[in-house]
């Protein structure tokens, strides 16, 4: 490991902050991080430092975890929880795991399914990231590194997988994170859950319909990643990517979802 991470993990007095040059490089590589108020950027820097102190990075296939890799991932992972304070606060959303496994590129994962007749089917799936319930997060460094450019398409693998972690905090990935009583005026947590899923499902179904029209009948192409149509929990994760990294397009195409996401993520100002 490079010097700064060694110092952070070692027996020496721990630094209070991320080195200035390393932080400036991170903001330059991922401009969507810097398109925020100065107070937000300062808070993100401090939260990123805390994240690095709590999590363990592991390079797979010989990849060496550098300062650049660790800070890039940590800063993007902290962005969704920067302002959330209930029912969990900031990094408490990520308390169910410690490990982050980073591959140089996409990962080939072996899958197995059993159909209704009991027939076992095995196949390979190419992954750029994966979040396990109560387990580690796996990421492709190639995709993380390209996040500054792919923001134009609303794509961000770190935010995607860490929003899955937020979603899973209730014990199941159903597209609805744990919500407090009072969320958008809801009188109970159950009512808040219903409000969220009702709104999200309507937009998910509308997206699926428009995507189908585009693919089958030459309708208007959809800007959001088609992977959002896989399930409502994937729709939540993909939509959250776009919300944070390309808010202009997100507000244009999903304006009615903005109040819902704002009420949950509580940005100090609307990104963009």
Q: Which of 164, 141, 172 is nearest to 73 (CA)?
A: 141
| In the chain, domain spans | 3-265
Q: What is the pLDDT of residues 238-257, one digit of tens each?
A: 999 999 999 999 999 999 99
Strands 137-140 and 129-131, by their bridges, are: antiparallel
Measured CA angle at 245 (ends 242, 248), to 5 deg: 70
**Residue 184 DSSP one-character state:** G
Q: What is the pLDDT of residues 164-198, one digit of tens each?
A: 999 999 999 999 999 999 999 999 999 999 999 99
CATH 1.10.472.150 fits 3-265, yes or no: yes
Task: List CB contacts of 259: < 8 A, sequence separation 6 or more.
Answer: 184
Max alpha carbon distance in the chain (Å)? 63
Q: In the predicted model, is pLDDT for residue 11 greater than 50? A: no
What is the predicted pLDDT for the residue at 12? Answer: 47
Burial class (CB in 10 A: 0-12, 13-18, 19+), 252: exposed
Which of residues 213 and 245 earns the better pLDDT score? 245
Q: What is the pLDDT of residues 93-152, one digit of tens each?
A: 999 999 999 999 998 876 666 667 767 777 667 889 999 999 999 999 999 999 999 999
Alpha-carbon Rg for the chain, nearest whole angstrom, is 19
What is the predicted pLDDT for the residue at 125? Answer: 76
Q: What's the pLDDT band for 267 if we cut at 50, 70, 90? A: confident
| Helices 189-217/258-265 angle, 10° precision | 140
Q: How far is the C-alpha of 171 from the C-alpha of 196, rounded, in Å?
A: 17
What is the predicted pLDDT for the residue at 15? Answer: 57
Q: What is the pLDDT of residues 43-77, one digit of tens each?
A: 999 999 999 999 999 999 999 999 999 999 999 99
Encoded tokens for 2: 């490079």
Encoded tokens for 267: 């940005």
Q: How far is the C-alpha of 129 from the C-alpha of 255, rounded, in Å?
A: 28
The continuous run of DSSP H or E covering 5 comes out as: helix 3-9
Residues comprising the chain, all counted = 272
């Amino acid at each position: 490991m490079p010097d700064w991470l060694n110092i952070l993990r070692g027996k020496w007095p721990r630094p209070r902050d991320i080195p200035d040059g390393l932080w400036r490089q991170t903001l330059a590589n991922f401009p969507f991080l810097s398109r925020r108020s100065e107070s937000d950027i300062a808070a993100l820097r401090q939260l990123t430092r805390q994240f690095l102190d709590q999590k363990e990075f592991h390079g797979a296939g010989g990849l060496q975890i550098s300062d650049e890799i660790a800070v890039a991932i940590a800063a993007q992972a902290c962005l969704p929880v920067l302002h959330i304070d209930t029912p969990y606060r900031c990094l408490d959303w990520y308390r169910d795991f410690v490990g982050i496994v980073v591959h140089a590129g996409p990962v080939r994962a072996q899958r197995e399914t059993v159909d209704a007749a009991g027939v076992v089917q095995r196949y390979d799936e190419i992954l750029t990231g994966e979040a396990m319930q109560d387990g580690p997060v796996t990421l492709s460094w190639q995709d993380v590194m390209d996040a500054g450019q792919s923001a134009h398409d609303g794509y961000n693998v770190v935010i995607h997988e860490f929003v899955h972690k937020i979603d899973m905090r209730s014990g199941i990935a159903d597209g609805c994170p744990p919500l407090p009583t009072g969320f958008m005026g809801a009188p109970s947590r159950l009512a808040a859950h219903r409000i969220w899923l009702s709104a999200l499902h309507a937009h998910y179904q509308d997206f699926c319909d428009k995507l189908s029209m585009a693919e089958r009948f030459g309708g208007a192409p959809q800007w959001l990643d088609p992977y959002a149509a896989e399930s409502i929990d994937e729709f939540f994760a993909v939509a959250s990517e776009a919300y944070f990294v390309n808010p202009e397009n997100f507000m244009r195409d999903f304006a009615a979802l903005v109040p819902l996401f704002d009420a949950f993520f509580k940005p100090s100002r609307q990104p963009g």
